[in-house]
Structure 1
Amino acid sequence: MKIPFRLMLCLLGTSVFAQSRSAFVTPYERSQGKETATYAEIIDFYQRLDKQFDQAKLVVIGKTDIGKPLHILLLSADKQFTARPDRVTLLINNGIHPGEPEGIDACMMMARDLLVSNRLPKKMLLAIIPVLNVDGSLNRGESRVNQNGPATYGFRGNARNLNLNRDFIKADAENTRSFQAIFQQLKPHIFIDNHTSNGADYQHVVTYFATQKDKLHPTISGYMAQTFQPELDKLLTEKGFPPAPYVNHPRDTPESGLLGYNDSPRYSTGYAALFNCFGFTLETHMWKDYPARVKGSYAFDEAVLRLCERDAPTILANKQRADAAVSGQTTFKLNYQLDRTQTDSITFLGYEAGYKPSEVSGMKRLYYDRSRPFTKRIPYQNTFVAALQLNKPTAYVIPQGWQEVITLLKRNGVRMQALSRDTVMAVSAYYLDDYKTSPRPYEGHYIHSGVTVHAEAQRIQFYTGDYVIPANQPANRYLIETLEPQAMDSFFVWNFFDSVLDQKEYFSNYIFEDTAADLLKKDPALRQQLASKRASDKAFSENGDAQLEFIYKRTPYFEKTFNRYPVYRLEVGQ
C-alpha cells in the first residue's frame, strides 16, 4: 500500500520525536515512576539539553549554603535568553522543599518535550529553577512519613536547617540571595512554586493557592482571579485533574470549609507579589501515588505556560500599568487578615470522614473512608482586609552603617542615591513604643510582633555615603513592606535593627538625686508631670528609682537614639 506523502511526513516527525525523546529519558521515567532524580542527575540532564538544543541555556545564577552552584534553565524559541519588555517571562521554581519533588521530575520532562517537539511558545521566556534547595536535595532519605513515594527524596531544611520558603525577606540563605538576584534580573510576570501538600485526605490530586488577590494591584488581581484562574481550572479539569484550593481548613475535616492562604512576603509568592508578579503555589496531594502527582504537576505547569502564551499582550499591559501605578501610589495597605464575614463556596471532591478507636492509644482517632467519596459544595473564605494603612513618604533615609539592609535593598532592585556631602535633614523619626518578641526562635530569628510606634519631627545629621531612597519607583511595595516597622514581615520584625533597642548610657542614683532635684526646681512643667504620675500610679509613687528614671528620660542627658528606628521618613515639605 502506498503511504500518502503527508502521512509519511507525519510518521517521520513522530519517529524523530520518539528518538529524540528516548535520548533524554529521565531517572523518574527509567524507574517507572518510583524514583525522583538526584541533584547530580538533574544537572546532568539539563546540561545535555543545553548542549543539544540552541533554544536551551543552563546558567549558574549564584551560590548555595552547601557550596554547590544554583542553576536556572532558560528556554526561548528565538534563542534570546534575556528578559524583555515585549515578552512574558514565566518563572517556575522547584525543590524549595526537596522532599516534595514532583515539580523537579515534571519540569525535566516538560522542558525536554517542549524542545524535542519544537513547541516552545513564541515571544516568551520560560525560566526553570531545577532545584532551589540544593542542600536539602543532597540530604536524601525518607523524612516525610505521610507521603506516598517516591522511594527516597531530599529534606525540607537546607544546609543551615532553614526553611527557604520562609526566607524571602530576611534572605539568610545564599540560595535565597541567588534567587532574589535572578528574580530581579528576569522580572517575571508569573511565578509557579511546585510543592506537595500535607494534611486531610480527599480525591483531588491537584490543589493550589494563588497570590492573595486582595493584596495585588487591581489591574493584575482582576485579570488573575476573573480570567486566568477560571481558565486554568478548566484546562486542568479537561486534563483529568480537577483542582481545589489548597486544603487549609479550620476544623478537623475539609467539608467544614476552606480558608484562603495568607502568603505574606516571607513566602515565595508573597515576595513575588511585591513586584506585581502574580504566582501560584502548587500543592499536589501527598497520599496520591507518585506518578499521579508528577502528572498533575506537569499538567499544571503546562497549562499556566499555555495561558501565558495565549494572553501575553494582556499580561504585559497589566504589569506595565501596575508598575506605573505603584510608582505613584501614595497610600499602602498592610498586614492583611482573613475577613470571616465574607464566605463563598466551591465544589469539593472529598471522602467521608469518621472516628474509631486508635490501635495505639485507644483514644478516638480520625480516618477517611475512600470507599465513600463525595462531591459537595463547601464554604470557602478567601477575602482579606488590611489591618493597617500608611501613607508613603517622599523618600526614606538610611544611614550607611546598616549595610545588611542596604545590600538587601540593592539586590531587590531598589533605586537609591548616596549623599555626596554631610547634611542636616528635617525628617520624621519613628520611636518604637511597644512590641512582643517570640519566646522561641523561628527560622533563626526571635521575631517581633504587635509593633506600635509614634513619630517625632527631628533634625538629624547625615553623612556622605548615607542613602536617600525615593518612594516613586516600582519597588514601592517592597519598600513599604520592609522598611515600615509595623509591617508583618518588615526588617524590624526580622531583627535587623535590634541594636537600637539597647540603652547605652545610664545614671548612678546617688549622684543623679541632686541633679534631679535641681531640675525639678527649675522646670515647673516637669514637676507637674511627676506629680500627676504619682497621683495616678500608687506603685510609682512608692518607688524612688522609678521616679528618678521618669525624670532622667525627660532630660537632655537621655539618649535620643534609644528605641529610635534608624530608617527615617522625608515627608512632603520637609
Structure 2
Amino acid sequence: MSPLYPLLLSLAVIQPTPDPTPNVNPPAQDPARPRVTLPPAMPWSGRSEALIAKPGDPWITPAEANGFTATPSYDETHAWIDRLVAASPLLSREVFGRTSEGRALYAVRAHRGAAGKPVVLIQAGIHSGEIDGKDAGLMLLRDIALRDKADLLAQVDIVFVPIYNADGHERASPYNRPNQRGPNNPGERSTPQGINLNRDYAKADAPETQGMLALLRRLDPVLYLDMHVSDGFDHGYDVTYTFAAWGTYTQSPAITAWLNGSFQAGVDPFVRRMGHHPHFYPSAIDERDLSKGLRFASEGPRYSTGYGDYARIPTVLVEMHCLKPYRQRVRGAYAMMEGAIRQTARDLPALRAAIAADRAARPDTLTVKWERRTTPIAQVPFTAMAAQRYRSPASGEEELRYLARTEETRVPVIGQDAVAQVMPPRAWWVPASATAVIARLDLHGIRYERIAAPREMTLDRVRLSEPRLGPVADGRVMLFAGGFHHAPETALWRVGSVRVPYDQPRGLLAAALLEPEAVDSLLAWGFFPEMLQANGAMERYASVPMAEAMLARDPALKAAFEDRLRHDPAFAADGAARLAWFVARSPYADDRYLLYPVGREVEGR
C-alpha cells in the first residue's frame, strides 16, 4: 500500500455553509475593456470571522478596513508594521535583502522569553499576486503583539516575511491574476528580471533569492511556510497544502513522516474548527476531466518545497483556493498559520529529532529521472464542484461551466516511477574558474575545501553527447543532453579549486546541484556555457592536408567518414563541417569541448 493512502483517506469532506457577508470584490477595471467572468462563489461562513477587527478598531489592518477588496501597497504595509512594532516589545523588524529595484526586504520577528528558541519562518508574496498570506500575517502579528495570541511564542519564535517579491507587488493591476477572486489590485507573479522566485531556489540568480537563502541559513527554521494562492480548477476546498509529494518521493523521509503524521493530524482539525476546509493540494492531470486523476510528482530544488526536502528544512507550501472570496481566503490563511505554529510547538522534540535524522543520512542514490505511472497509487474521496459540459463556440471544444454546488466523487491519484538514478561520489571537484558555481555553494551553505597548491587528480569526468539548448526559463537558457558519458581522466586542478564532500548535512543538496544528470543541476540551468564552445579552429591550408593524411593512413577512420557521408547529406555538402570532423579526431581537438568541468571523486565510495 502506498504511504500516501492512509493520509488521503483521513482527509475529511466538509460541506460549505452560508456566509452572511460574502465578498465579491469587483475589480476596478476599465468598462471599455473585456472583463473576466468567474464561476459563481458559494456562500460560506466560519468561526474565523471572529478574527476580523471591527470598524474603528485602532489596530485594524488596511485589508480589514477596506472590506478585503484591496491589499495595501508596499509602503502602506510597512508603515502599518512599523507602527505595530513600535507599540509592542514582542516585535522587531530587520532588512534581510534588497530587490533588483532597490526595495528593502523586511522580516518581522515575534519573540518572548528566553533567547535561542527555534524559529517558524512564514513568507508571503513569493508570487505577489497571491498575497493572502500578507494580509493574514498582519492580522496574526497584531493578535500576538497586542491581543490574546502571545502564547504562540511560548516554545518558538515566529519570523514573518510579508512581501517577498516586493518589486512585483508594486506592479499591481486589476488585470493581474484574472482567474482569482480578489483582491482588486494583485501584483505580478515574477520579478521585473523575469524570474519566478519559486523556481529560483537552486540557481539563486535573483537578489531576493540570495537574501532568502541567507535568512534560511541564519535562522535554520524548524518549519518554513510558503504562502500561495492556487491556479487551476474549481473544487470544494479553501485551504490546501503540500510538501515533498506527501512522502512518496521525499528526500527527507523522517521530516516528511512527521509532516504526514503529526503535522497533518494537528493542523487539519484546527483549520476545520475555524470553519475552513483543508485538503492536500490537488493538481489535476486534466482539469476538464478529473476521472484522469490528481498528479503527485517529485519536486526538484528549484521550488521552495523541493529545496526544503533536499536541504532538510521542513517546508510546507500552502495554496489558498483562487476562486474562494478574498475575505474567506485571508481568514483561512490565518487559521493555517496559527494551526501550523501551534502543532510545531506542541510536537517540537519529535520534529527536531526528524530533522537531525535526515541531516545525518547519506543516501546511496539520487533519482535523476521520473516517469508518470500508468496505474493509480490510490483512489480517494474528493469534493468537486458540479459542472455542466457544453461545446464552446470560442474554443470549438467541450468546456466546463461550474455550478454553485459541490458533489462527492472519487478520483485516482497518479504518481511516478523512478527510471534513472546516480550514485553520488565521495566528493566533487569544482575548478577555480567556476566562480559563479562556488558562489552558489556559499549561498546554499554547502561546505567545501579550497586547495592552496595545484593537485593532479584522476577523477570521473562526464562528457555530453547531443547537447541542445532548452527554452528560456526564469532568466536562463537551460541545457539538455542526449547522453552523459563517464570516464576516468587525470588532470591538474589549479590553486583555488574546491573539493565538495558528499559527507555533510547538505550533501544531498550538493548532489542535486553538481550531479550533471540531475533535473535542477547547475549544468541544466546553464552555468557552464563555455563547454559548448569548441576552440582550436584551424585554417583550411592546415586542416585540409592534415585531413587527407588522416584518411590515407587510417582505414577505420576512412570507413567511419564515408559512412557519415552516406547517411548525412547535409554533412556531406558542408566542407567546413567535414574538416571540423577531422580536427575533432586529431591531437589539435579541444579536449574541453562538451566536457563537464566538475570532476567526481569516486575512489572509496
TM-score by length of 2: 0.84
1:128 maps to: 160
Query: Aligned match of 2:121 in 69, 80, 91?
Result: 91
Q: Is the 8 A contact 1:394 1:471 kept in 2?
A: yes
1:211–1:270 contact (8 Å) kept in structure 2: yes
After the TM superposition, which residues 69-84 of structure 1 pair with which residues of structure 2 at under 5 Å, given as runs? 69-78=104-113, 80=115
Q: Which of 225, 238, 242 is equivalent to 2:277?
A: 242
CA distance in 1, matches of 2:463, 2:440: 23
Question: C-alpha distance in 2, partners of 1:79/1:41?
Answer: 32
Q: CA deviation at 1:364?
A: 4.6
Paired AA for residue 441 in structure 2: L
Report the equivalent of 2:213.
180
The Cα shift of 1:550 comes to 4.1
Shift of 1:46: 2.4
591, 594, 602: which one aligns with 1:560: 591
Worse-matched range after superposition: 116-125 or 510-519: 510-519
After superposing the two structures, state which structure 1 stretch, 175-184 or 250-259, moved more: 250-259
> Per the alignment, do residues 416 and 516 of structure 1 end up closer, same or farther by CA in structure 2, a change over 3 Å counting?
same
Q: 2:383 aligns with which of 349, 352, 368?
A: 349
Return the offset for 1:168: 1.4
- Alpha-carbon contact 1:77-1:123 (below 8 Å) kept: no
Say which is worse superposed, 160-169 or 104-113, in terms of deviation.
Answer: 160-169
Per-residue CA distance 1:106-163 (angstroms, 9 max, x = gap) = 0111122123222223231222111100001111221122221112222222222322
Q: Aligned residue for 2:144?
A: 114
Which position in structure 2 is the counterpart of 1:11? none
| Structure 1 residue 540 displacement after superposition | 6.1
SS in 2 for 1:396: strand
In structure 2, the CA distance between the partners of 1:253 and 1:543, relative to structure 1 (3 Å rule), is closer
Separation (CA, whole Å) in 1 of partners of 2:114 and 2:137: 19
Partner of 2:337: 301
Q: Per-residue deviation at 1:363?
A: 6.3
* 496-505 or 333-342: bigger deviation: 333-342
Please give the alpha-carbon distance, in whole angstroms, between the structure 2 residues aligned to 1:433 and 1:113.
59
1:501 aligns with 2:535: no
Q: Describe the SS at the equivalent of 2:383.
A: strand
Partner of 1:162: 195
How far apart are residue 521 of structure 1 and its match? 6.0
- How far apart are the structure 1 equivalents of 2:371 and 2:351? 28
Cα distance in 2 for partners of 1:384, 1:478 equals: 21
Equivalent position to 2:300, from 259, 264, 267: 264
Alpha-carbon distance in structure 1 between the residues aligned to 2:372 and 2:448: 35
Q: 1:125 to 1:337 in 2, by over 3 A?
A: farther
Give the whole-Å Cα distance in 1 for the aligned partners of 2:391 and 2:188: 33
- Match of 2:441, SS? helix
* Distance 1:422-1:486 versus aligned 2 partners, 3 A rule: same
- Contact kept in structure 2, 1:397 and 1:569, CA below 8 Å: yes
Distance 1:346 1:111, change over 3 A: farther
1:376 aligned onto 2:409: yes
Task: Show the counterpart of 2:454.
Answer: 422
Give yes or no for contact 1:262–1:337 (8 Å, CA) kept in 2. no
**Structure 1 contact 194–281 (Cα < 8 Å) conserved:** yes
1:172-321 matches, within 5 Å, as 172-212=205-245, 213=247, 214-251=249-286, 252-321=288-357
- Give the SS at the match of 1:144: coil
Alpha-carbon distance change, 386 to 57 in structure 1, aligned in 2, over 3 angstroms:
farther
User: Of residues 66, 89, 95 in structure 2, which corresponds to 1:54?
Assistant: 89
Q: Which letter maps to 1:58?
A: R
The residue identity in structure 2 corresponding to 1:34 is T
Check whether the contact 1:56–1:79 (CA below 8 A) recurs between aligned residues. no
Aligned residue for 2:102, secondary structure, equals coil
Structure 2 distance, partners of 1:162, 1:122, is 38
Q: Match of 1:3? A: none
| Paired letter, 1:433 | S
Whether 1:63 aligns to 2:98 is yes
Cα distance in 2 between the residues matched to 1:219 and 1:34:
42
How far residue 518 of structure 1 moved from its aligned partner, in angstroms, is: 4.1
Aligned equivalents of 1:115, 1:92: Cα separation in 2: 16
Letter in 2 for 1:334: V
Aligned to 2:11: none
Structure 2 gaps of 5+ residues are 1-52
Pair 1:119–1:425, CA change in 2 (3 A):
same
C-alpha offsets along residues 491-537 of structure 1, whole Å, 9 cap, x if unaligned? 11111101111011123344334334445666xxx532432563587
2: CA distance, partners of 1:362 / 1:561: 53
Shift of 1:426: 1.8
AA of the residue aligned to 1:243: P
Number of aligned pairs?
A: 544
Structure 2 residue 507 is matched with structure 1 residue 476 = yes
**Pair 1:30 & 2:58 matched:** no
Relative distance call for 1:336 and 1:73 in structure 2 (3 A) is: farther
SS in structure 2 at match of 1:119:
helix
Q: Structure 1 residues 338 and 243, CA, compared in 2 at 3 Å: closer, same or farther? A: farther
- Identify the match of residue 42 of structure 1 among 77, 82, 85: 77
Q: After TM superposition, give the deviation of residue 47 of structure 1 in Å.
A: 2.2
Distance apart, 1:225 and its partner CA:
2.0
2:491 maps to which of 460, 481, 499: 460
Partner in structure 2 of residue 12 of structure 1:
none
- CA RMSD, 1 decimal: 2.6
Q: Residue 456 of structure 1: CA displacement?
A: 2.2
How far does the alpha carbon of each residue in 1:188-245 deviate from its partner, in whole angstroms, 9 at most, with x for none?
Answer: 2322111111221222111222222222222222222233224333332332222223
Compare 30-39 and 66-75 and name the one that shifted more.
30-39
The answer to whether structure 1 residue 485 and structure 2 residue 516 are counterparts is yes
> What amino acid maps onto 2:439 in structure 1?
T
**Residue identity matched to 2:559:** A
Q: Which residue of 2 aligns with 1:527?
A: 555
Partner of 1:149: 182
Find the aligned partners of 2:347 and 2:397 in 1 and give their Cα distance. 54
In percent, how many aligned pairs have the same letter? 27
For 2:368, the equivalent position in structure 1 comes to: 334
Give secondary structure in 2 for the equivalent of 1:431: strand
**Structure 1 counterpart of 2:255, one-letter code:** I
Distance 2:163 2:135 in 1: 10
Shift of 1:330: 3.4
Asked if structure 1 preserves the Cα contact closer than 8 Å seen for 2:152 and 2:342, the reply is no
Q: Equivalent residue for 1:8?
A: none
SS in 1 for 2:403: strand
Contact 2:299 2:306 in 1 (8 A): yes
